[in-house]
Structure 1
Amino acid sequence: MTDTTTEKTPVTLLGLGTMGTALARAWLTAGHPVTVWNRTPSRAAALAAEGARVARTAAEAVSANPLIVACLLDDTSVEEVLTDTTLTDKDVVNLTTTTPAQARTRAKWAHERGARYLDGGIMAVPAMIGAPESGGYVLYSGSGPLFEQHRPTLAVPAGTRYVGEDPGHAALHDVALLSAMYGMFAGAAHAFALLRKEDIDPTTFAPLLADWLSAMAPAVHRTADQLRTGDYTKGVVSTLAMQVAGTPTFLATARDQGVSPELLTPYFTLMHRRLTEATGEEDLTGVIDLLLRSEPTA
């Protein structure tokens, strides 16, 4: 009888917040040996009962396995936790939310200590971890060979998307996607506010809003193509001039409904400014150029 079982890669996980606990549980469920560490030891009790090995110190946790995953509060926490550990020949995967600049600095910091490094951005909430049907995934950037080596293990908690050798690109994609999400939430908040004083059930309006946002979402492909080609008049459906002409209606409706226009006016201001600087026949894509600063801020 042939043994067809595959040895599962051991994982060390630093940080047992809600997300870290979900990650650990997904690896344990899939049969991976998992060593965990957390500043507050009591958070490891449930995982210990499920088979995790609990390290007394971060240094002990790091020494246990070659693959080290950090899911901590911030970049400062990562440095504090790893400073007194031995990282030589370790593979560090940092899933802590950071800026692109911090990710690049942390990659250099890890390499100077003899480690290989991947940075990650988690595009999921804890409930989506370990649930492939949820659509959650993690963005990774840094060493391509390192990603390929650990792809099967990294794919256990959530899907994987590799976005390049630059260690900062996972964080950049993460923040860009979340920024778009908050823009959508802002628009939805304004929409619900307009209805708030009316005899309209928000639960009957919500499906209309969700369907409309879904219908508009593919417009990002047109925007991307216009940015790539530099032709902002390509495939235009509603011209900049037409949309600027409609902004007074939105502002008047907000005023009539007793709703602050503060979520809309910044974008409308940019639209009006773009119209004074470019042809009204283009799309809204030119607003993106107005957001770019000539010099990066500190």
Structure 2
Amino acid sequence: MTSNTAGRTPITVLGLGNLGQALADAFLSQGHPTTVWNRSAHKADRLVAQGASRAATAADAVAAAEIVVVTVLDYDTVGELLRSAAGTLAGRTVVNLTTGTPGAARELGAWVADQGAAYVDGAVYAVPQTIGTSAAFVLYSGDEAAYRKHQSALDLLGEGAFVGSAPDLSSVYDTALLSGMYGMFAGFFQAVALAGTEGIEAGAVTSKLVRWLTGAVEALPGFAEEIDRGEYATTTSNLEINAVGLRNILATTEAQGLSTDLLAPLQRLFDDQIDAGHASSSLSRTIESLRAGR
């Protein structure tokens, strides 16, 4: 660990699960005076042995540092901890890296501001083992002046990007990115289940699926351009072709005795667009059926 703390901003980490431990490690390794707190106090033992200060209460932890990084189970817990430290928040920057909803981020950001503190919301894209490496990145939103002031410290966690001054924007990005991830997982589970009906092992189909998806993902930036322009003309794989292909997949899935619950909703979106006269449009036009439900 770096022992020279001169000129380095004191930082508190509230919550010492796997992610919180990794965040505290990153700050300690670069010499930031680091105070830690967790409901189960023993989780701080290793960090204290490496130079961190253990706070007796969340309020004491907040009072000890200019930057207060929070990573706990949910926003209710964040609110509970910060309310217990309300008298010490003024003048500090709260960096909330807890996963939640945009509405909760808006409410928490407003409450923190009312306490005279700056609020920065963040979404972390990393497993704990990659915190502080080039594999990690973090999206931030909220008080831009506070973010810029402390950017060098926050960049110790991974590549940072500020996405806007509304405190909920990082949560909107997070929800969107995780939606894409879970959609991929859904397709993976469907692929493995379908292959398994004929005795194909998960590993065998996955090696080929990864190769196929790696190529398929290259279509996404083009789809994004079409969506942003609202122009869906295409000379390649259109909605009608994809609807036929997906219908065949659903028929095979049923014939093999599996549920179609994961992919049938997508077929309905394709069919909605075709019924509206857009059979020759790009697959990306599917988004208009999602937007119609807003």
> Which TM bucket (shorter chain)?
over 0.9
Q: CA deviation at 1:56?
A: 0.1
Q: CA deviation at 1:6?
A: 6.4
Instruction: Establish whether residue 144 from structure 1 lines up as the match of residue 148 from structure 2.
Output: no
SS in 2 for 1:98: coil
Partner Cα separation in structure 1 for residue 30 and residue 126 of structure 2: 19
Partner Cα separation in structure 1 for residue 58 and residue 260 of structure 2: 49
Partner Cα separation in structure 1 for residue 23 and residue 235 of structure 2: 44
Partner of 2:192: 192
Partner Cα separation in structure 1 for residue 199 and residue 15 of structure 2: 47
Q: Quick one: which amino acid aligns to residue 66 of structure 1?
A: E
Partner of 2:60: 60
Deviates more, 1:81-90 or 1:254-263: 254-263
Match of 1:102 among 73, 92, 104: 104
Partner Cα separation in structure 2 for residue 12 and residue 5 of structure 1: 14
SS in 2 for 1:12: strand
Partner Cα separation in structure 1 for residue 142 and residue 249 of structure 2: 45
Partner of 1:213: 213
Question: Runs of 4 or more off by more than 3 Å in structure 1?
Answer: none
Partner Cα separation in structure 2 for residue 259 and residue 92 of structure 1: 48
Q: Give percent identity, aligned residues only.
A: 39
Q: CA deviation at 1:129?
A: 1.2
SS in 1 for 2:278: coil
Partner of 1:251: 250
Deviates more, 1:243-252 or 1:170-179: 243-252
Q: CA deviation at 1:219?
A: 1.6
How is 1:129-208 mapped onto 2 (pairs within 5 angstroms)? 129-130=131-132, 132-133=133-134, 135-208=135-208
- Structure 1, gaps ≥5 residues long: none
Deviates more, 1:4-13 or 1:163-172: 4-13
How is 1:204-243 mapped onto 2 (pairs within 5 angstroms)? 204-233=204-233, 235-243=234-242
Partner of 2:125: 123
Partner Cα separation in structure 2 for residue 59 and residue 39 of structure 1: 12
Q: Deviations over 1:145-194 (max 9, x none)?
A: 22111111101122212111111110110110011000001001111111
Q: CA deviation at 1:105?
A: 1.3
Partner Cα separation in structure 2 for residue 5 and residue 18 of structure 1: 25
User: Measured at CA, do residues 123 and 44 of structure 1 come closer, stay the same or move farther in structure 2, by a change above 3 Å?
Assistant: same
Q: Quick one: which amino acid aligns to residue 243 of structure 1?
A: N
The question of whether the paired residues in 1 share the 8 Å contact of 2:19 and 2:71 is answered with: yes
User: Measured at CA, do residues 67 and 238 of structure 1 come closer, stay the same or move farther in structure 2, by a change above 3 Å?
Assistant: same
Q: Quick one: which amino acid aligns to residue 115 of structure 2?
A: R
User: Measured at CA, do residues 5 and 93 of structure 1 come closer, stay the same or move farther in structure 2, by a change above 3 Å?
Assistant: closer
The question of whether the paired residues in 1 share the 8 Å contact of 2:247 and 2:267 is answered with: no
SS in 1 for 2:22: helix
Report the TM-score when normalising by structure 2: 0.93
Q: How many residues in Structure 1 have an aligned counterpart in Structure 2? A: 289
The question of whether the paired residues in 1 share the 8 Å contact of 2:9 and 2:66 is answered with: no
Partner of 2:270: 271
RMSD: 1.7
Q: Quick one: which amino acid aligns to residue 122 of structure 1?
A: V
